[in-house]
Structure 1
Amino acid sequence: MIVRKFWVMLCGVLLALSPRANHIVGGEIEFITIEPGRYRINLIQYRDDAQDENDVIIDQYTVYLFANRHGANAEPVSTHLLTRVSYDEVPYTKPDCSIAQLKTGRVVWSAEVNLDPKAYADPEGYYIAWERCCRNEVIKNIVNPVRTGMKYVLEIPPLWKDGVPFINSSPELLKPLSDYACVGQLYYTSFTGSDRDGDSLVYRLATPLNSSAYDPLPIPQPKPHIPVEWAEGYSLRNVIPGAQPLSISTKGLLLVNPAEPGVYVFSVVVEEWRDDEKIGEVQRDFQMLAIDGCTPPEPPEVGVKIPGNETFNPEVDTLYYGVNEDKCFDFVITNIAQGETISLRAEGVNFDGDIEDVFSISQAYVGEGVDTLVVQFCAPGCPPVRDEPFIVDLIAGDDACPLPQLDTARLTIYVEPPSNVSPSFDPVGPRFVVNEDSLLEVALRATDVDADSIILSLVVEGEADPQARGFSLVTRTSVRGEITASLFWDTSCQAYDFTDQQQFRVGILAEDLDTCEVVSEPLWLDMEVVLPFNTEPEVSVSVSDSVVVRPGDQLTFDVNATDLDGDTLYLRCIADGFDQNSIGVTFDDASGVGEVVSPFSWAVSCKSLVLGKDDYTFLFVAEDQDRCEVVNADTLVFKVHVDVDENNSPEFVQVADTALEVNVPFEMDLTALDLDEDDSVGITFLNPARLPNSPTLSLEEVKGKGRVTSTFRWTPDCSLLDFGETSAFYDIVFLAYDDGCPIQKLDTMLVTFEVRETRERFNRFLPPNVFTPNGDGKNDEFRLVDLPRPEQNLPIDNCDDAFEYFAVHDRSGATVFESSSREFVWDGANVEAGVYYYVVKYTRTSYKGYLHVMR
C-alpha cells in the first residue's frame, strides 16, 4: 500500500506533540497609559476550570505590535514579553445556580513597557496581536474547532498626535460570561466595559478570528486577520440560533434564547469614540454554554393600578400630574409562587441617572397564601426631563436559575414642575478683544423676578480650570433676587499659557435656588487675547532640495534656520515613514538664538535601505519661541531618490525526485547560483516547522558568494511509514535566498522523497560461502559487513525484521561460532578445514547455507 503524505499534513503531528488550548474560553488585550512614554499591556485569558486535562498555565507570553500602514507585509514594530500576575475565579450572578460543568477563571499576564511616543506617531494607528492554537473540540458553530486557533487583537491610536503625546487607554471590559444559558429561556447580561478617558463605547458582534498557523503558539501575522469558518447553518447573523438569536445592543446588552444545547463561540468588538472619531477597538473572544432541561418558573407579571383611573393602559396612556397632586400609585406583581423572592427596580428610559427610593421595598419574599404583591411607586416631584414626559421602566424579577426571569411595565409620566423664572443678566459684551499683558474687568449684574437667591459660577469651554487661563470671578454684592460681580482676565503670557489658544468662550452661570434646581442657560462671552507679533523662521539647505544618489554615495550638506525677531530657534529633522538612524543618516537637532546651523550626512548603503523603497523624504522643521512662547514653524521638504540596480534571484540546480530506504543513510548536494556574483547565497528549508518528524533530517547551513552547495542528509526511520505501508511520499521544499539589494530575492525547489521498506535487500542477500584462514592476509576472516559486493552484506534492518544472530555449526550440529552483533568477525582458528553450516537469523527471516573453510 502506497500513501502520499504532503508536508502540509504534518500539522497533525504537531498537534499530537503540543498541548491543546481547549481550556481557553475567551480573552482580550488591554493597553493602558501610565504617563507619556510609560504604558502597561495586559493579556487577559478566561479558562475552563471545570476541566483538569490542561491545567498548566504558561508563565510568560509575547504579544506583537504592528503598524496599520504597513498592511499585509508588516513586520512587528515591537514585541513585548508579558508575565503572569494574577488568577481569579469569575463568580456566578447567582452562586446558588452553579453547575459542575461551568467554572471560569480569569488569568492576567502583564508588563510595563517604555515606548517613545514620537516613534509611534503614524496617524493610521497600530494594533497589538496574540495568537494561540486550538479551540475546544465540542464547539458546534464553527468548522473543525480543534484545528481552529484564536487571535486576540487590540487597535490603538498613535501615541503622538498634533505635536503632543496622545493620551489614551483602551476600554476596560468588565464582567465576562460567568453563567450558562438555558434552551428556550431568555439569557441576558451586560457585556460592557468602562473607559478610563471617558470615551464613548459602542458594541457589535464580530466573527471570531483564527490563528495564522497551526502551531501551539504561532507568531501573529499582520492584517488581514483570518476569520473562523462558520459551520453550516451558522453565521454572524445566526451565531447562536433560537427564538432570540444572539445579539448585542450598541450599549452592550447581550441577549439570546438558544434553541439547542451546546458550546458556542462568539466575539464582541468594542469601538472607542472620542469627539465623533473612532480611535480604537478591542475584540473580546468568548464561549457560551447552553444546556437543556432547565425548568424555570413562569416569570412574574406586572401591572399598574392608578387610584381613580380604572381604565389606565400604560402601553398607550400618559400619566399627568400637577404641581400639588399626589403622585403615588400601585405597582402590582402577579403570577408568583410561595417561596419565591421577587426583586424590584426602576430604570429611566429617556434620561440618565438613577431613580432612588421609588419603591417602599427592593425585594419581597412570597409567603404562604400570597399570590399578589402590591408595592407603592411615587413619581418624583421634580421631573428628570423638562417640558416633556419622562419614561420609566418598572421591573420585577423572580429568583430563577441561571438568571431571574423578568417582566416590565413601561410608564410615560408628565409632572408639572413648580413655576420658576430663570435669572437674567444686564446687557454686557458679548465680545472682548484684549492686548496681551492687560487686565480686563467686566462688571456683571443678575436679577431674579422670583426673588430667589442667586449663585454665580464661571466656566470656560474646553478648560477644566478657568484660572489656568487667567480668568476669575469675584462677587461684589448678593441679596435675594440680585447679585453683582466682576469678571477678571489677566492676559500676561508670562503668568498664563496662551501658546495653543488665544480665543475663549466664557460662560457666566447664574443659578437661582428654586425648588427643582433647574439649570439656567449661561451668559456666553467671546474673549480674545492679541499676542505680540512674531515672524516665522525660515529654513534653507546648501544644496538643491531634490537630489538623486546611488549606493556608495556620501550625501552631505548644511541645514540653516534663521529668525528676523532674534527668537530662540529649534531645528529638527523628521523622516517621513522610515527610521533615519537605521539607514545611516546623521543629523543632530540643534537650537540657537536668531540663527542655527546643523550638518546633514548620509552614507548611502544598499544594505541599510528600506526594502522596496526608492524615494526618501526628510522634513527639516524650524520652530521659534518668542516671549509668550508662541511657536511659529517653517518646514523644508527635502527629497532623495536612490537609484539602485535590480537584484537577480538565485536559482537552484534542479535535482530529481528520489527514493530512500528505511534506516539507510542518504545524502544529497543542493546547489544554488546567483548571477550577482557579489551576493551571498544560502540554502535552507522553506518551512522547518512543517518538515517530516524525523530527527535525522538535516541541511548544512553554508553560504557562498554567487554559488553555494549545501548537503542534505536523512536516515528515514520506520515511524515515517504507517502500519502495513511499504512506501510513503514526502514533499520537502528548499529555499535559496540572497542578501542582494534593494530587495532580497528567493527561489524554491520541491523535491519528492519516496521512503521505502528494505525488503528487496533481504531478497538479494547472497553471502560468501568460502574463506581461507591460512594467515596469508587474504580472506583470512569471515564477516558479513563492509564487503565490496553489496549483495554479500547483511540486509539493513527494516520495520518488522531486525538482525538477531549469526551461528556456525559442524556436521554433528555442534555450534562452533555464534554472535549477536552484525559486525561480527570469525577467524576460524578453532576449527579444521572442511564444510560447516551457518544460520543468519532475523526477527522474521532466516538464511541457512554451508561455508567452506580452506587452509
Structure 2
Amino acid sequence: MLVAPAARATHIVGGELDLQYRSGSTYALTLNLYFDAINGSPAALDNNMQASIFEKSTNQRMQNITLPLTSNTFVSYTNPACTSSSLSTRKLIYTVNITLPAATYTSPAGYYVAVERCCRNQGLSNIVNSLSAAQAFYLEFPAVVRNGRPFLDSTPRIFPPLGDYACRGELFYYDFGGQDPDGDSLVYDMVTPLNGHASTGNSSPTQAAPAPYAPISWVAGLGTQNQIPGNPTLGIDARTGRLMVRPTQLGLFVFGVRCTEYRGGQKIGETRRDFQLYVLNCPRNTVPSLQLSSSAGVPYRPGRDTLRLVAGADHCLRVRFTDPDANSRLTVTLRPINFTTPVPTFTTATTGVVRGPGTPDTLTARFCFSECLDSKGQVYLLDVIVADDGCSLPKRDTVRVAFTAAPPPNAAPQLTTSFPPGLNAQDAPPITVRVPVGTTYSATLAGLDVNGDPLTLTAAGQNFDLAAAGMTFTAQNGRGQAAGTFQWQASCAAQQFPDMVVTFRLQEQATCTTLSQTRTVRFELVPTPDTVAFLPPNIITPNGDGKNDAFVLPDLPPDLCDGRFGGIAIYSRWGREVYRSGSRSFAWSGVGVASTYYFLITYTDGRRYKGWLQVNP
C-alpha cells in the first residue's frame, strides 16, 4: 500500500486576530491572514479557519469557532510606482459574529483566542527551517463583566498591512500605529513570532491547543530585539507604533509586533501581528532638498527665525526645491505640528519633475497663511516637506517653520436706536413697547463700524410675520454705516399674535471674526386712551336733588377690538347681587338703604375691574 505524504502549505506571510464589540453579548471575531501570492500554493488557501477561546488563568477551553473566509484582496504598495514582481501579498479576512455571555466570561484574569496553522512561506532569512515553521495567531481580551457591571472592550485596530519592500542601506519606516475604539492607551513592542503546535503533519488542526505556544527559532545572531539585521536594527516606537530599520542584509525577514492596551493603568488585552519585510538592492536615491524665503526673497533660517504674522505683514513663503537625481518627481506638502486649522494653502503647483528632458533643475512653489490665523501668543510649528518618488519609499527633506500669528483687530459694530431707554446696549433686558390700537409707532436704528466693514440691518419676528401684524422694516446698508426704520400700524389684525417679539440685528461682514449686535423688543396692542382717566366714583346720594343721584360710569375703559364691555354687577356687603346691567350707559340709584356695596366690571377679553361704592340716601 502507498501512503501519501502529509500536505504542507507554504504560504503564510503573517496576520493578526481582532475582536470588536457589536451589541449586547455579540462580538465580531476576525482573523486577518496575509498570504504569499508569489510562492504560496493556491490549494493552501483555506475557506475556513478554526479558532479557540481559552480562560487565561486555567487554560480551560471555552468554545471553538469556525471562521469563514469573507474577503480576499491584494495588499497595496505605499508607492505603486515601486511595485516589485517578487513581492505580492493577499489579505484574507475570516470573520464571524460570536456570543460572549456575561454570566460565563467573568474571569478576572481574562481570556485568549488562538488560531494555529502551518506552514510559513519559503525563503525566510532569519528563522530556522521556515518551510516547517508554523504560525500561532494570538489575542488576549478581558472579562465582559467587572464588579457586576458590563466591561466593554474592542481590540485596537492596529497598523495597516505592509505591502512594501526595503532597500539595503536605506532607512525604511512604516506607521504601524493603531487606534482604539474605547480610548484605551496603547503600547507597542517587538516580540518573537509564535510557532505553536501545528506542524507539517498536522498543518490545519481542527482546534487550537491551549497555551503556551512555542516561539519560532531565530538563526544564530538574531533575536527578539534584533529580528532584522540593520543599523539601526528593526525597532518600533512604544508610543506611536512607528516601525523603523536601516537593513544591512538582503533577504526576506519575518518579524513580530505586539500592541498592548491599558485602561486605568491596568493591562486589559493584547494583540500580535506577524509579518515579513523583503530587503532588496535598490538604485541609489539621493535625498531632495528645499529652501524657504519670503516673497521679497529674504531667506528663512530654520531654528533661528520666527515669523511674525500680523495685519499688513507678508503672509506668504516661497519654496525652492530640487533633487540631484535625474528625472526625479518631487512633491512638496505641509504638515501642521501643534495646530490644526486653518492650514496654509499653496497658490501654485506642488508637484513637478527636475533634471529631465525639458525640465528645470529647481522648482518653486508658494504658500500663504490665512490672515485669520490666531496663535494666541503661542509659537506654532509647520513642517514643509519635499519628497521624491524614489523606491522603495520616498526620500524627504523637511524644514520646520516657527511662527506666531495675530488676526487683524476688529471692534464690534455699534447699534443705537430710538426705542425707549434700556434698548441701546447689547444683551440689555428687553422692554415692552405698548402701542394703542389705531395709532402708528415708528422707531429708527443706526449702525456704525469703526473698521469700515460692510453692515447689514435686519428685523425678524419671533414666530410671527412682521407684515401680517402690520409691521414694516426698511434699511439702508453700507460699508461702515447702516440705517433702518421700523413702523407699526397698530390695528386689531395684530390681535392674532399674542406675543409679538421682534429681534433687530446689526451684522458685519469682517474678513475674520464676524461680530453682531442685537436688540429685542416686545410689542403689545393696548386700547386707545380716553382723554379722561377711568376714575369711578365711590359715593352716591340718591336724594332727588339732581346731584350724584345715581351710579354711572361714563369714563369706562374703551373697547379693544374684540374685547368689549361685558357688563356690571353690584353686590351687598354680604355678597348678594343687587343689580346687573350689560349696557355701558347703565345708571343705578341704590336700593334706598345707606350701606357699602361692591361692583365688578367685566370685558369679553377677560379684563376685570373691581371697586366699592357708598350709598347715602
Whether TM-score is above 0.5 comes out as yes
Could you tell me which amino acid in structure 2 is paired with residue 217 of structure 1? S
Could you tell me which amino acid in structure 1 is paired with residue 313 of structure 2? E
What does residue 390 of structure 2 align with? 400
Is 1:106 aligned to residue 91 of structure 2?
A: yes
What does residue 152 of structure 1 align with? 137
What does residue 264 of structure 1 align with? 253
Could you tell me which amino acid in structure 2 is paired with residue 346 of structure 1? L
Give the 3-state SS of the residue equivalent to 2:283 in structure 1: coil
- Quote the sequence identity (%): 32
Is 1:94 aligned to residue 83 of structure 2?
A: no
Work out which of the residue numbers 76, 79, 84 in structure 1 matches 2:61: 76
What does residue 347 of structure 1 align with? 335
Work out which of the residue numbers 196, 204, 212 in structure 2 matches 1:217: 204
Figure out how many residues of one structure are paired with residues of the other and give that number. Answer: 424
For structure 2, list consecutive stretches of 5 or more residues without a partner in the other structure.
413-426, 430-448, 456-500, 516-617
User: For the structure 1 residues 236 and 517, does the alpha-carbon distance in structure 2 shift closer, same or farther, using more than 3 Å as the test?
Assistant: farther
Contact 1:361 1:375 in 2 (8 A): yes
Give the 3-state SS of the residue equivalent to 1:40 in structure 2: strand
For structure 1, list consecutive stretches of 5 or more residues without a partner in the other structure.
1-13, 423-443, 454-475, 482-512, 519-855
Could you tell me which amino acid in structure 2 is paired with residue 216 of structure 1? S
Structure 2 CA distance for aligned equivalents of residues 29 and 233 of structure 1 = 30
Structure 2 CA distance for aligned equivalents of residues 246 and 148 of structure 1 = 21
Structure 1 CA distance for aligned equivalents of residues 8 and 132 of structure 2 = 9
Work out which of the residue numbers 146, 152, 156 in structure 2 matches 1:171: 156
What does residue 184 of structure 1 align with? 169
Q: Deviations over 1:185-244 (max 9, x none)?
A: 222222243444454544332222221354423554444443333322223332222233
Could you tell me which amino acid in structure 2 is paired with residue 93 of structure 1? T
Is 1:22 aligned to residue 7 of structure 2?
A: no
What does residue 481 of structure 2 align with? none
User: For the structure 1 residues 451 and 84, does the alpha-carbon distance in structure 2 shift closer, same or farther, using more than 3 Å as the test?
Assistant: farther
User: For the structure 1 residues 338 and 141, does the alpha-carbon distance in structure 2 shift closer, same or farther, using more than 3 Å as the test?
Assistant: closer
Structure 1, 192-201 or 235-244: larger mean CA deviation:
192-201
What does residue 372 of structure 1 align with? 362
Contact 1:383 1:415 in 2 (8 A): yes
Contact 1:38 1:113 in 2 (8 A): yes
Is 1:39 aligned to residue 27 of structure 2?
A: yes
Give the 3-state SS of the residue equivalent to 1:344 in structure 2: strand
Contact 1:358 1:377 in 2 (8 A): yes
Structure 2 CA distance for aligned equivalents of residues 147 and 339 of structure 1 = 45
Q: Deviations over 1:579-623 (max 9, x none)?
A: xxxxxxxxxxxxxxxxxxxxxxxxxxxxxxxxxxxxxxxxxxxxx
Is 1:122 aligned to residue 107 of structure 2?
A: yes
Work out which of the residue numbers 400, 424, 438 in structure 2 matches 1:410: 400
Where in structure 2 are the equivalents of 1:583-622 lying within 5 Å?
A: none
Is 1:60 aligned to residue 48 of structure 2?
A: yes
Q: Deviations over 1:437-482 (max 9, x none)?
A: xxxxxxx999xxx9999xxxxxxxxxxxxxxxxxxxxxx998889x
Where in structure 2 are the equivalents of 1:447-462 lying within 5 Å?
A: none
Is 1:332 aligned to residue 317 of structure 2?
A: no
User: For the structure 1 residues 322 and 514, does the alpha-carbon distance in structure 2 shift closer, same or farther, using more than 3 Å as the test?
Assistant: closer
Contact 1:36 1:167 in 2 (8 A): no
User: For the structure 1 residues 411 and 136, does the alpha-carbon distance in structure 2 shift closer, same or farther, using more than 3 Å as the test?
Assistant: same
What does residue 635 of structure 1 align with? none
Structure 2 CA distance for aligned equivalents of residues 243 and 354 of structure 1 = 39
Give the 3-state SS of the residue equivalent to 2:72 in structure 1: strand
User: For the structure 1 residues 480 and 47, does the alpha-carbon distance in structure 2 shift closer, same or farther, using more than 3 Å as the test?
Assistant: same
Structure 2 CA distance for aligned equivalents of residues 300 and 94 of structure 1 = 17
Where in structure 2 are the equivalents of 1:655-694 lying within 5 Å?
A: none
Contact 1:336 1:372 in 2 (8 A): no
User: For the structure 1 residues 109 and 479, does the alpha-carbon distance in structure 2 shift closer, same or farther, using more than 3 Å as the test?
Assistant: same
TM-score, normalised by the number of residues in structure 1: 0.45
Contact 2:36 2:121 in 1 (8 A): no
User: For the structure 1 residues 166 and 479, does the alpha-carbon distance in structure 2 shift closer, same or farther, using more than 3 Å as the test?
Assistant: farther
What does residue 268 of structure 2 align with? 279
Is 1:142 aligned to residue 127 of structure 2?
A: yes
Where in structure 2 are the equivalents of 1:804-815 lying within 5 Å?
A: none
Contact 2:12 2:40 in 1 (8 A): no
Contact 1:348 1:354 in 2 (8 A): no
Structure 1 CA distance for aligned equivalents of residues 266 and 340 of structure 2 = 23
User: For the structure 1 residues 375 and 126, does the alpha-carbon distance in structure 2 shift closer, same or farther, using more than 3 Å as the test?
Assistant: same
TM-score, normalised by the number of residues in structure 2: 0.62
User: For the structure 1 residues 333 and 514, does the alpha-carbon distance in structure 2 shift closer, same or farther, using more than 3 Å as the test?
Assistant: closer
Contact 2:10 2:41 in 1 (8 A): no
User: For the structure 1 residues 146 and 354, does the alpha-carbon distance in structure 2 shift closer, same or farther, using more than 3 Å as the test?
Assistant: farther
Contact 2:18 2:31 in 1 (8 A): yes
Contact 1:296 1:401 in 2 (8 A): no
Structure 2 CA distance for aligned equivalents of residues 232 and 451 of structure 1 = 79
Could you tell me which amino acid in structure 1 is paired with residue 32 of structure 2? I
Contact 2:292 2:299 in 1 (8 A): no
Contact 2:372 2:511 in 1 (8 A): no
Q: Deviations over 1:355-395 (max 9, x none)?
A: 36346333223462401111112233344753311111111
Structure 2 CA distance for aligned equivalents of residues 316 and 54 of structure 1 = 59
Contact 1:384 1:390 in 2 (8 A): no
Q: Deviations over 1:32-85 (max 9, x none)?
A: 222111222111100010125454322222111122232xxx121222111112
Could you tell me which amino acid in structure 2 is paired with residue 169 of structure 1? S
